[in-house]
Amino acid sequence: MSVPKRDACRLRHVEYALALLVAYLVGSVDFGVIVPKLMGVDIYAEGSGNPGTSNVFRALGKKAAGLVLLGDLLKGVVAVWAGAVIVDTPFAYWSAVVAVVGHSFPVWHKFKGGKGVATGLGGALFLQPLVGGVAALVWIAIVLKTKTAAVASLIGIGLLLPGFALRGVRGAELVAVGLLVAVVYVRHVPNIKRMLSGAENTLEAR
């Protein structure tokens, strides 16, 4: 028995909404808050107050930062995978965007989140493993070279748009990638201002 066209359309819209909700809620799980809290530290009261890998690195060291980075990467993968399962892979590009928004404005943490770099890279790794992998390696290389996470983040995330385009991604999916990059860049505006004034923090772990 076939489903009436109107009912099928409504069901599709429910699937869209569910996929985006899952992406936002998964993105809102902020390991930059959870890992320090398990160690008895309020990350909002440490360093820059940003619950991101860089601030955790400076406040708690390599192991804690590594756990945060891994968790944020994986939640990007999970959010996008869920979008692909609930709807389809093309729609999962929008799940990646919403996961980054969730990371930046997490409902579980009073909407005070990080900048979405690792979560965005995790989503990219699922959608285009080659592009996501190259961007992640470039991010790591620049961090090691400059000791400045913001520089690495802006360049690494910035590679996603041309990288996806070179892999043949077009239309709405490429627009979604551009929006993801834009969200991360907007979240880095304070860092950009500090870099221009020569006052940006470098990575100095305990």
Residue-wise pLDDT tens digits, 118-159: 999 999 999 999 999 999 999 999 998 998 999 999 999 999
- Three-state secondary structure along the chain? CCCCHHHHHHHHHHHHHHHHHHHHHHHCCCHHHHHHHHCCCCHHHCCCCCCCHHHHHHHHCHHHHHHHHHHHHHHHHHHHHHHHHHCCHHHHHHHHHHHHHHHHCCHHHCCCCCCCHHHHHHHHHHHCHHHHHHHHHHHHHHHHHHCCHHHHHHHHHHCHHHHHHHCCCCHHHHHHHHHHHHHHHHHCHHHHHHHHHCCCCCCCCC
Integer Cα distance of 152 and 113 in angstroms:
19
Does residue 96 register a pLDDT over 50? yes
Integer Cα distance of 128 and 28 in angstroms:
23
pLDDT value, residue 50:
86
Residue-wise pLDDT tens digits, 35-84: 999 999 999 999 888 888 889 998 999 999 999 999 999 999 999 999 99
Residues 6+ apart with CB under 8 A from 48: 54, 55, 201
What's the mean pLDDT when you consider all of the chain?
93
Going by pLDDT thresholds of 50, 70 and 90, the confidence category of residue 2 is low
CA dihedral over 107, 108, 112, 113, signed as positive or negative: negative
Place of tokens 């006052």: 199
